[in-house]
């Protein structure tokens, strides 16, 4: 039980004193970067899906 109590105390101390939390502008900037990257990757996956789908439709049309 002593180990668990020690662990919880050390975890709380680390969370409140040792962790450097981002400022509001840093958090907003990181959020915008993640949002932009998500949108770009979404369009890349959409393009790949369209190309592969149309390619398979063409191949199936030729075979059957």
Whether residue 1 is predicted with pLDDT greater than 90 in this model: the reply is no
Whole-number pLDDT of residue 4: 94
Amino acid 53: pLDDT: 97
- List of E strands, the chain: none
pLDDT for the residue numbered 58: 95
| Separation between Cα atoms, residue 40 and residue 42, nearest integer Å | 5
6-56 residue pLDDT tens: 999 999 999 888 888 899 999 999 999 999 999 999 999 999 999 999 999
Determine the distance from the C-alpha atom of residue 13 to the mean position of all C-alpha atoms in its chain, rounded to a whole number.
Answer: 28
Pairwise CA distance, residues 56 & 50, whole Å:
10
- The pLDDT score that the predictor gives to residue 10 is 94
Predicted TM-score of the model (pTM): 0.67
């Amino acid at each position: 039980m002593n180990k668990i109590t020690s662990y919880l105390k050390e975890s709380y101390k680390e969370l409140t004193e040792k962790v450097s939390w981002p400022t509001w502008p840093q958090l907003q900037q990181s959020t915008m970067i993640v949002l932009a990257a998500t949108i770009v990757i979404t369009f890349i996956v959409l393009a790949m899906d369209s190309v592969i789908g149309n390619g398979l439709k063409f191949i199936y049309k030729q075979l059957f």
